Structure 1
Amino acid sequence: MTVITDSDITAASYDELVERVLGGGFGPDPGTQRIAVAFTTRQAVRHAGRSGGYRNEVLSLRLAQAVGSCAVEPGGLPDSAVDDCVGADIARLLEHELLPVRVAALDAYLMHVLPHSPAAGARPCQLPAGSSLEKSRARAEAVVDLLDATPGRTVLVVGVVNSLLEALRARGLAYLPCDLKGGTTEWGEPVRTDALSELERCDAVLASGMTLGNGSFESLRVHALRHAKPLVMFAQTGSAVLPRLIGAGVTAVCAEPYPFFWLDGGPGTIHRYGGSERSGAAL
C-alpha cells in the first residue's frame, strides 16, 4: 500500500509546484494529458435584498473527469484562449502566454491526479440547498470558520464578497476590503484597489483564489510566511492548486471546484483543508 505524505503533495511555492508537475512529480507526464473541453462561464449577480451586484467570468478546462478553473476580470479573456486550450496537452498550456490559462491547466491536472478527498487532506463540507444569497452565506461561514483570528483583529480581505464581510462582522473582526474593481461594500465602506499596500495593517489575510490568475498571490503568500500571519484562501480558482501550498504561507483553503455554488440551487459540497475551523459539521 502506498502511503501519501504531506511532502509528496505539497510545494514551497507556486513556481516549484509547476516545476514538479512538469517533471512528473505528481503523476503522469503532463505532456501526455490533453484537454478535451474548454469553456467559459459568465454570470451577473444581484442577491435579493442587496444594494449592489457583480459579474464573474471563469475559464474552465476539462481533463478526463476533472475540471480546473481560473476566474478572470469580465471581458479580460480573449476568445482565442478557449481555442488554444482544446486538444492541447497540459505541459504546453503550463507555458501559455496567458496566466489564467496556465492556472486553469495546473488546476485541471492537480484535480485529475489529486481529487479532493480525505487522502489528499480534504474535509468535505455540505452546503444546503437554497437561494443564491443563502448559499453564499453558508459558504462564507465555512470559509471564515477556518480563520484563526480573535475579535478586534483586522483581516485583509482580497476579493470582496459581501457575505464574507458579513460573517467577519458577526465575529467582531475588523477588515480591510480590497478588490481590483474598487467601489464600496454593502455598508458603504470604500474598497481599496491595492491589496499589497495594505498588508502591514492587517493581522490575517482572507483572499480569493482569483489572486492566482491576476499574479498577486505569491506576494500575499510570501508576506504571510515571513510574518507568520494566517492566510486563508477561498478558492473557486485553483481549488486543487492552493491546498498544495499549505505550510508554505497558506494556512487553510476552502476549495470549491466547478460547478460553483452560484450555478445551482441544490445542495453542494465544498472541501476544507488546514486551518482551525470551529466545527467540522455540515452547515
Structure 2
Amino acid sequence: MTAATSDTSGISDPSGISAVDSARVPSAARARTYDDLVTRVRAGELGPDPRTRRIAVAFTTRQAVRHDGRGTGYRNEVLSLRLAGAVGSCAVEPGALSDSAVEECVGADVAELLDHPLLPVRVAALDAYLMHITPHTPEHGARPVALPAGTSLEKSRARARAVVELLDLPPGATVLVVGVVNSLLEQLRSHGIGYAPCDLKGGVTEWDEPVVTNALAAAARCDALLVSGMTLGNGTFEPLREHALRHGKRLVLFAQTGSAVLPRLLGRGVSAVCAEPYPFFWLDGGPGTVHHYRADRPGGAR
C-alpha cells in the first residue's frame, strides 16, 4: 500500500483533538497516532510501568474454514499474549510466526516486547497491556453487543451485522473494505451499499469480484472505509487512518487484532470500532460478545 499525506487542517487544539472530541472520547483514547500511543504506554502515562508487567502465556490459534454454502474458504493464524486476566492478539500470515518467536514472549515484560523485532509481537503486547488497564466495559466507552449461538456461518453473519451497523451509510454509498470477509460484503449488499474489496493477497470475492491490493488508490473513490484490525499487524493502518482524517471520511474498524488498541484512536480519524477480544466468534458455537465504540457518542459508546 502507498502512503497517505497527513493533514491536520481544521483542528484548532494543539493536541490534535477538538474540544468536542475530547469531551466524548475516553481519556485513554486520546493518542494522536499509533506511534504516539506506543510512546505513552512506554512512558507509563496510561497505567503501570510496562517494565513491571510480564507476559505469562503466549499461544497461537490457527483455523481453516469453509462455511456451508460458500464456494471459498480461508485460513487464519493469531498470536495471543496473556497478561494477568487480559489477552491481547494480533493476526499473522499463516506459517509466518516461528515457535521460537512465541516462546520468546513468555516471561518477557511488556516494555521488552514493545521493542521486539516482529511487528505482530509488538501489536499483541500493546493490545494485552491496554486490555489489562482498560478492558471492554461501559466505563471505558464500550457498548456490549451480544452474538447468538449458532453455526460458524450464522455467527459470522451476526458479527457482520454488528460491524456494518457502525457505518451509518445510506444506500448507494460506496465503502472501501480492507480485509475481505464475505459475510461483511454480503451484509453491505443487503443494505444497497457498494464496496471496493481490498486485500494484500488479491484474488476474487465469493461473487467473483476482483480484489484490489492498493487500498489508498481505491479509497479515493470511496465514501467511507471499513478496515480490519489486521492492518495494525502488517503496518498498513496509519496511512488509512490519515486518509480518513484528511478527507473527513468515516473509518470503521472490525478488530480481533488490536481490539483494545484501536478504540484509543477514536476521534483521530477513527470513527467507530467493533472490538472482538479473544476468544473469537469462530472458536465455538456458543453465544459471544463484541463491543461497540463510537467517537460521536458520549464516552465513545452508543
* TM-score, L = length of structure 2: 0.89
| SS in structure 1 at match of 2:220 | helix
8 Å CA contact 1:63–1:109 kept in 2: the answer is yes
Q: Distance in 2 between matches of 1:8 and 1:126?
A: 25
8 Å CA contact 1:207–1:232 kept in 2: the answer is yes
Report the CA distance between 1:275 and its aligned residue: 6.1
Question: Do structure 1's residue 26 and structure 2's residue 46 form an aligned pair?
Answer: yes
| SS in structure 2 at match of 1:133 | helix
8 Å CA contact 1:147–1:275 kept in 2: the answer is no
Q: Among 51, 65, 74, which residue is 2:71 paired with?
A: 51
Q: Among 206, 215, 228, which residue is 1:186 paired with?
A: 206
8 Å CA contact 1:160–1:177 kept in 2: the answer is yes
| 1:178-257 matches, cutoff 5 A | 178-257=198-277
Report the CA distance between 1:276 and its aligned residue: 7.3
CA 276–126 in structure 1, closer or farther in 2 if over 3 Å, else same: farther
Q: Deviations over 1:53-107 (max 9, x none)?
A: 0000000000000000000111121222101100000001001110000000000
8 Å CA contact 2:25–2:267 kept in 1: the answer is no
Q: Distance in 2 between matches of 1:153 and 1:123?
A: 26
| 1:44-83 matches, cutoff 5 A | 44-83=64-103
Report the CA distance between 1:10 and its aligned residue: 2.4
Q: Show the counterpart of 1:109.
A: 129
Further displaced range: 7-16 or 254-263: 7-16
Q: Distance in 2 between matches of 1:42 and 1:180?
A: 20
Q: What's the RMSD between the two structures over aligned residues?
A: 1.6
Question: Do structure 1's residue 11 and structure 2's residue 20 form an aligned pair?
Answer: no
Q: Among 163, 169, 175, which residue is 1:143 paired with?
A: 163
Q: Which amino acid aligns with 2:276?
A: E
Identity within the alignment, %: 73
Q: Show the counterpart of 2:282.
A: 262
CA 172–5 in structure 1, closer or farther in 2 if over 3 Å, else same: closer
Further displaced range: 186-195 or 209-218: 186-195
Q: Deviations over 1:187-241 (max 9, x none)?
A: 1101112212212111100000000000000000000000000000000000000
- Could you list the runs of 5+ residues in structure 1 that have no partner in the other structure? none
Q: Distance in 1 between matches of 2:274 and 2:294?
A: 9
* TM-score, L = length of structure 1: 0.95
Q: Distance in 1 between matches of 2:58 and 2:38?
A: 20
Q: Deviations over 1:221-279 (max 9, x none)?
A: 000000000000000000000000000100000000000000010000110000679xx
Q: Distance in 1 between matches of 2:44 and 2:244?
A: 29
Q: Which amino acid aligns with 1:39?
A: F
Q: Distance in 1 between matches of 2:149 and 2:28?
A: 36
Question: Do structure 1's residue 36 and structure 2's residue 34 form an aligned pair?
Answer: no
* Stretches (4+) displaced over 4 A: none
Q: Distance in 2 between matches of 1:5 and 1:181?
A: 34
Further displaced range: 72-81 or 230-239: 72-81
Number of aligned residue pairs: 276
| 1:148-187 matches, cutoff 5 A | 148-187=168-207
Q: Which has the higher contact order (CA 8 A, sep 6+)?
A: 2
Q: Which amino acid aligns with 2:255?
A: A
CA 205–5 in structure 1, closer or farther in 2 if over 3 Å, else same: closer
CA 238–5 in structure 1, closer or farther in 2 if over 3 Å, else same: closer
- Could you list the runs of 5+ residues in structure 2 that have no partner in the other structure? 1-23
Report the CA distance between 1:182 and its aligned residue: 1.5
8 Å CA contact 2:270–2:295 kept in 1: the answer is no
Q: Deviations over 1:121-167 (max 9, x none)?
A: 00000000000000000000000000022111110000000000001
